[in-house]
Amino acid sequence: MDRILIRGGNKLSGRIPISGAKNSALTLMPCALLTDEPLTLRNLPRLADVDGFGHLLNQLGASTAIEGSRPEDFGRVMTIRAGQLTSTEAPYDIVRKMRASILVLGPILARAGEARVSLPGGCAIGNRPIDLHLKALEALGAELEMTAGYVTARAPGGRLAGGRFRFPVVSVGATENALMAAATAKGSSRLENAAREPEIVDLCRMLVAMGASIDGIGTETLEIEGRERLHGATYAVMPDRIEAGSYACAAAITGGSVELVGADAAAMGATLSALADAGVVVELRKGSIGVTAPERLQPLTLSTAPFPGFATDMQAQFMAMLTRADGASMLTETIFENRYMHVPELARMGADISVAGRSAVVRGMDRLTGAPVMATDLRASMSLIIAGLAAEGETAVSRVYHLDRGYERLEEKLQAVGADIERVGD
């Protein structure tokens, strides 16, 4: 199994290209199931999760073709053709590896009138039930049954009727599933208290490009007028706001200065605001964002929240960065109840972090020390990389397959801006 070795102490300096967003790509890909015409996605990141989702689409009868792909390129162009679904079942052996697989439930049901999907897997960062996915689909007319670890859904008469649903709490995945299902329902649908994340906006825009009728894009109330069919489209995946924020934290903890090429500031408001509060100089440029570290990082008080609040997917990276702040920071995790698994690993590197329930106090240190550490989930993995970049000596990060799920060619990007980092096999 591969490990990543980091010899810390180098200031990051230079340009880092930001890839297409993982969380958007995994939402756009299942839209191909809603039409018998080709869907072409540009700026698709090279990630294990994207490859895994492609295999799942193949299992359902869709073909996936990579166009003009070269090893030295970042991003890919993929055309997905689901002319005819050969299966309406997403099996356990594929779905268990990736939670985003549940996003095929709505499109399969909308297209075929029935679907059988295994309960999903993914990062072990806490309880993430799919009850809101199911309740939203029921509100649109689906009949559901759960047996032996599978969800079986049927649309009476072969097509969803549409309906109204108010999410009791904001759920990104459930909003996405309901949107895709409602796009071809017989009637109109209204989703209230819907998630407003940039990835939701990206999904809405692509569905509209495929012929869907959606009002209220970017708001908490989405109104969808069902279409009998959708057509193919060509669409570019939005830049990854979490990747961009992660590299910003890496530059800040090393005292460096980087340009995040292709980053979208409009999708990163809370992250950029938090960086500025920590003393980081943030410069918005045409097509990029400049990030320059201060002489000493300032402590922060942060609480995760649905968009436009501070993203839970940035919590671990900020925690790593704040281990070098001048004072104590308070982080509160409101989204997932088990997202501090990186804390013991950071402590192995000398970090002073205490956890009480959903809150963590991070006391800034003058130095971190390299150590062998183990990644526990995707964003926790990146927090260890960030800490390692600033630590004295060598840090060895194991279980890096988590990183491969969400960061495209991470070592190459960091090497290009001065990091002493490499991937080695055991």
Domain ranges of the chain: 2-19+239-425, 22-236
- Who has greater pLDDT, 183 or 72? 183
Report residue 187 as tokens. 């009637």
Biggest CA-to-CA distance, the chain: 66
CA–CA gap between residue 245 and residue 18 (Å, rounded): 10
Answer whether 30's CB lies under 8 Å from 64's CB. no
Q: Is 284 annotated as a binding residue?
A: no
Q: Write down the pLDDT at residue 294.
A: 97
| Mean predicted confidence (pLDDT) in 97-124 | 84
Buried b (16+ CB within 10 A) or exposed e, 43-63: bbbbbbbbebbbebbebbebe
CA–CA gap between residue 327 and residue 349 (Å, rounded): 18
Tens digit of pLDDT for each residue in 284-342? Answer: 999 999 999 999 999 999 999 999 999 999 999 999 999 999 999 999 999 876 678 89
Report residue 365 as tokens. 């240190």
CATH architecture under which domain 22-236 falls: Alpha-beta prism (3.65)
CA–CA gap between residue 247 and residue 259 (Å, rounded): 10
Q: Is 99 annotated as a binding residue?
A: yes
Tens digit of pLDDT for each residue in 248-287? Answer: 999 999 999 999 999 999 999 999 999 999 999 999 999 9
Inform me whether the pLDDT recorded for 392 exceeds 60: yes
CA–CA gap between residue 387 and residue 360 (Å, rounded): 17
Q: Write down the pLDDT at residue 71.
A: 55
Beta bridge partners of 3: 398, 424
Phi then psi dihedrals of residue 97, to 5 deg: -85, -15
Residue with tokens 């919590």: 315
Q: Is 200 annotated as a binding residue?
A: no
Tens digit of pLDDT for each residue in 36-65? Answer: 999 999 999 999 899 999 999 999 999 999
Q: Quick one: which H or E segment has residue 383?
A: helix 378-390
| Mean predicted confidence (pLDDT) in 80-93 | 94
Report residue 198 as tokens. 């940039």
Q: Write down the pLDDT at residue 107.
A: 98
How far is Cα of residue 282 from the mean position of the Cα atoms in its chain?
23
Cis peptide before 308 (omega within 30 of 0): yes
Inform me whether the pLDDT recorded for 366 exceeds 60: yes
Hey, what amino acid is at 274?
A: A
- SS3 call for 336: coil
DSSP designation for 369: B
Is 123 known to be catalytic?
Answer: yes
How far is Cα of residue 56 from the mean position of the Cα atoms in its chain?
18
- Tell me which of 94-103, 111-120, 147-156 is least confident: 94-103
CA–CA gap between residue 25 and residue 279 (Å, rounded): 32
Q: Write down the pLDDT at residue 122.
A: 41
Beta bridge partners of 223: 190, 215
3-state secondary structure 240-306: CHHHHHHHHHHHHHCCCEEEEECCCHHHCHHHHHHHHHCCCEEEEECCEEEEECCCCCCCCEEEECC
CA–CA gap between residue 78 and residue 209 (Å, rounded): 17
Q: Which of 90, 86, 75 is nearest to 30 (CA)?
A: 90
Report residue 426 as tokens. 């055991």
Q: Is 313 annotated as a binding residue?
A: yes
Between the CA of residue 95 and those of 56, 103, 119, 146, 270, what are the distances in Å? 8, 10, 7, 16, 32
The strand ranges marked E within 71-113 are 76-81, 89-90
CB neighbours (10 Å) of residue 411? Answer: 18
Tens digit of pLDDT for each residue in 143-154? Answer: 999 888 888 999
Ramachandran quadrant class, 409 (left: phi over 0; alpha: psi -120 to 50; beta: rest): left
CA–CA gap between residue 271 and residue 318 (Å, rounded): 9
- Residue in 31, 123, 204, 249 annotated catalytic: 123
Q: pTM of the entire structure?
A: 0.94
Q: Is 423 annotated as a binding residue?
A: no
| Mean predicted confidence (pLDDT) in 119-128 | 48
Q: Is 116 annotated as a binding residue?
A: no
Q: Which of 233, 370, 194, 366 is nearest to 296 (CA)?
A: 366
Q: Quick one: which H or E segment has residue 296?
A: none
Q: What's the mean per-residue pLDDT of the chain?
A: 93
Q: Write down the pLDDT at residue 128.
A: 46
DSSP designation for 392: B
pLDDT bin (cut points 50, 70, 90) of residue 124 is: very low
Query: In terms of DSSP bridges, do strands 328-332 and 301-303 run parallel, antiparallel, or are they unpaired?
Result: parallel
Burial of 37 (0-12, 13-18, 19+ CB in 10 A): middle
Q: Is 326 annotated as a binding residue?
A: no
Q: Is 420 annotated as a binding residue?
A: no
2-19+239-425 maps to CATH 1.10.10.60: no
